Structure 1
């Protein structure tokens, strides 16, 4: 398996300095390994057909993630494990995504990999696919139903809590902050926000003056923050729960001539570059794009009869002043509006599945 760097498509591996392959061992799992992977049944033999039911492909993070999926499929084709990849794009509409998944069921694909456009709207169609013996691997934005082969994600609640704790430390527990969230109703966005709340409750000196929800893109985030800057003359920190959101915030502050404030974020190249350029007090973590490739690999392992746990949690790295330069040293390998994600390989995936 080769590390994939998206070259032809502009949100949607050795590991980066300070982030070893061992650091990405699975830290959580629910229950014990199943005698056979959930959902998988019937006469399914390699080479397999994989369905990739994407909720939307416009954000660069999603495009990069799809790049890891297509690259992984190409590697698995070489070994005779995969035959075809069916890709759909629901363009942000959960009902359209349901229709796409139904079309994959009708086509009797062997596995469906999905980022959910809604945590509950997809439950029925996902359960139906599972009942028909199709391997279902859900990553990043998760469904509520447990009728899946595996759910793969970082701990979004921990993401929000750790970012909030960093902000508390930066401001000494006192100050006025703005919270920038991703789209409402998307589990990864909602869970990050929920994770931050207990920390905020424990530190009442940190006043949330307002918060906003935008797509994970720089332009809408910058526009939203520009409006908030006009309405709020005093802002001490930006608790941003997404990398493109952070970049949009920094750009809005800069355009309005406002002094930059401590800002959290993600491994978005633009945010990390602005962090260094503006001398920002910053903190970030990473939702690895290779979760997509790992999901395909997991589906194939399940179809081949391997035990796969129903929940696989990939640990979150921390990006701060001690290691941000090591990320930026590889920036030219990623799109200007992309995410600098760590390398991955089969050995890493096998370690994650073995825990």
Structure 2
């Protein structure tokens, strides 16, 4: 009788333990998530700056996703801040979001290191944190979302080296120094350039991701370097600026890499450039927002979600330009997206 009692008691305890473990696992399916937050959620968008067109388009996809989630009864409020490029201001704004107890924070970081303490605080309070594009060094976030920026730079450099026959003089155009996306693209290009010593870097510069400063910077570099054979541009607006600078000086266009900036793609087609491009999809904002809700709803969200890099070349540039009218003249022609795509990405397919 006692044996039967203890056997039953043990089975009951084991069942309770397994049940508790399963419940805990469901509640802790993603980092920072405690399972005690309920829909509809308040989402915070901690924007580092809103002036560049890429950022405006990205925020547009985020806001559209919020409207869709509202219709599903999953979100009731979006809080937006703009740090105007100041990483310290961004930290203060994130702290304000924590103090107001938002359920999720969507973040493009102004610094890879500075937000660590405030993000740890948010994570400890069960706030979902989705960091995309410009990433932080800390793991105290729910998930990081990005394309492979190093692969971006590697593929661009390989294209340029191949187009130049493995030799010649190039200019290298980077985005702002200290921005992780820009730095990682450059790091990815480095091994390719080092493996091809006959490709010589005449000059290298960092500029904002805008056409006007890029054109000005390239104009100065062209005056100092009369013979160039290629341009390794690691940003779309930078490429447009470079093409315009060459054109204004009456210089021959050279093989060039870039991004899905509408102006660059239109110049590419107009001038029959030897070009290559990829993209940092603006819908990363929408995906990050959707992903935050998935995490809050108890879904298993990995610590890092890799977004595949599409390639734009002479074979498919026409497909992008066919949709150009749907995007701002100074904007980016990004690929289509929907929830089915998001689910496929989350499933790792």
Residue 236 of structure 1 deviates from its aligned partner by: 0.8
What pairs up with 1:16-31 in 2 under 5 angstroms?
Answer: none
- 2:145 is equivalent to residue 152 of structure 1: yes
Q: Deviations over 1:108-166 (max 9, x none)?
A: 10000000111111122112211111000000110000111110000000000000000
Structure 1 CA distance, aligned partners of 2:316 and 2:324?
A: 13
Q: Distance in 2 between matches of 1:328 and 1:289?
A: 17
Task: Say which of 232, 241, 245 aligns to 1:252.
Answer: 245
Q: Where in structure 2 are the equivalents of 1:151-190 lying within 5 Å?
A: 151-190=144-183
Secondary structure, counterpart of 2:81 in structure 1: strand
Partner SS state of residue 176, structure 1? strand
More helix by share: 2
Question: 1:349: which partner in 2?
Answer: 342
Q: CA deviation at 1:43?
A: 2.2
Aligned to 2:4: none
Q: Is the 8 A contact 1:34 1:309 kept in 2?
A: no
In 2, the alpha carbon distance for the partners of 1:128 and 1:337 equals 38
Per-residue deviation, 1:187: 0.6
SS in 1 for 2:190: helix
Aligned partner of 2:83 among 70, 85, 90: 90
Please tell me whether the aligned partners of residues 115 and 140 of structure 1 are also in contact (alpha carbons under 8 angstroms).
yes
* Residue deviations 1:11-62 (CA, integer Å, cap 9, x gap): xxxxxxxxxxxxxxxxxxxxxx995110012521000000000011111000
Matches within 5 A, 1:55-74: 55-74=48-67
Q: Relative contact order, CA 8 A, sep 6+: which one is greater?
A: 1
CA contact (8 A) 1:253 1:260 kept: yes
2:274 is aligned with 1:300: no
1:134 aligns with 2:133: no
Is residue 2:268 matched to residue 1:270?
Answer: no
Structure 2 counterparts to residues 307-322 of structure 1, below 5 A: 307-322=300-315
The two structures, once aligned, show a CA RMSD in angstroms of: 1.1
Q: Output the CA distance in 2 between the equivalents of 1:109 and 1:242.
A: 34
Q: Is the 2:171–2:203 Cα contact (8 Å) retained in structure 1?
A: yes
Q: Is the 8 A contact 2:27 2:35 kept in 1?
A: no
Q: Partner residue of 2:189? A: 196
Structure 2: runs of 5 or more not aligned: 1-25
**Number of equivalences:** 323
CA contact (8 A) 1:34 1:307 kept: no
Counterpart position of 1:281? 274
1:306 & 1:279 partners in 2: Cα distance? 47
Equivalent of 1:41 in 28, 34, 37: 34
